[in-house]
Structure 1
Amino acid sequence: MLFYSIVIIVVAIDQLAKIWIRSSIEVGESVPFWNSVLHLTHYENSGMAHSLFQGYGRLFAVFAVLFIAGVLYYRKKGDIKGKPMDISMGFLVGGAAGNAIDRILFGKVTDFLEFTSGHGILNLADVAINIGVVLLLITAAISIILRKEIS
């Protein structure tokens, strides 16, 4: 239940934020936010990270759907189990689903989080994917450390 709750929350927050950005900020417009550390900049990305492979948005949706199907399959099979993995995979699947929805409906993803440190523009689905990756790496590292202590 934890896995599905995280997926639903991530997708809902991501999609609501994107709807708000699309309805209130013009494409290319930038609004300072949070002491100018972050700008809300409306960008439509038809590619992938760092705007690579522009125009292939719907193709990347296929990869996202395959990733989600794989996670669901391995969860059902019992290969992905435990609270840390449920949390990590929940963020990864929620982020993948949030961006896949945009890619399927619009052929592109709405990005809007631009940090003044200059690391590109992303959205909340991207943030969720990053959280999921970090949690997955932490879970894997702890698992490796515990196995070494046991043996």
Structure 2
Amino acid sequence: MLFYVLTILVFILDQVSKYLIRFYIDINEKFIFLGIEFTHIENNGMAGGLFPGYARLFGVVAVLFVILVSYLRRNEDMKGALIDSSFGFLVGGAIGNGVDRLLYGQVTDFIIRSGGVLNLADHAIEIGLLLLIIYVIFSWFKNKRIMVTKKRTS
């Protein structure tokens, strides 16, 4: 259930924020809100404007990614709140940006950060990747502990 709640929440927050930016803020207009700098840009490539003009291709990649995660979630080894949270953020972000790429041929970015201009879906993907790294590290230690215990009992 956590996976679905996070996926839907990320998707809705991302789409609402992009709608508000597209509707109320002109392209390249800058403003500060709550101490955070924003500007409205439209990106028809991928992260940082790489590969401009391939937005729809990256939209298809997002669909394939969601299918891959759906397959991985069926794996009995990948269960628990941490991996569900990771996948929820990753899939919600992928769907949010994928919808923009497939419908509009570009993604609305607006949060200025060192390294570029991002949106909520991008931040959700970053959170999901961080949680996935933590999950992998914990799983590695857990498996290592199980192997050490088995060696001691043999």
Q: Same fold (TM over 0.5)?
A: yes
Q: Distance in 1 between matches of 2:76 and 2:106?
A: 34
Residue of structure 2 in register with 1:47 after alignment: 45
Aligned pair 1:122/2:118, yes or no? yes
Q: State the Cα distance separating 1:103 from its structure 2 match.
A: 0.4
Q: State the Cα distance separating 1:47 from its structure 2 match.
A: 0.3
Q: Which moved more, 1:65-74 or 1:141-150?
A: 141-150
Q: State the Cα distance separating 1:146 from its structure 2 match.
A: 2.4
- Provide structure 2 residue ranges, at least 5 long, that are not aligned to the other structure: 149-154
CA 1:141 to 1:77, structure 2 compared with 1: closer, same or farther past 3 Å?
A: closer
Residue of structure 1 in register with 2:71 after alignment: 73
Letter in 2 for 1:121: V
Residue of structure 2 in register with 1:5 after alignment: 5
Q: State the Cα distance separating 1:96 from its structure 2 match.
A: 0.2
Letter in 1 for 2:38: L
Identity of aligned residues (%): 50
Q: 1:142 aligns with which of 135, 138, 145?
A: 138
State the Cα deviation string for residues 88-138 of structure 1 (Å, max 9, x = none): 0000000000000100110000000003xx320000000000000000001
Q: State the Cα distance separating 1:77 from its structure 2 match.
A: 4.6
Aligned pair 1:86/2:88, yes or no? no
Q: State the Cα distance separating 1:79 from its structure 2 match.
A: 5.1
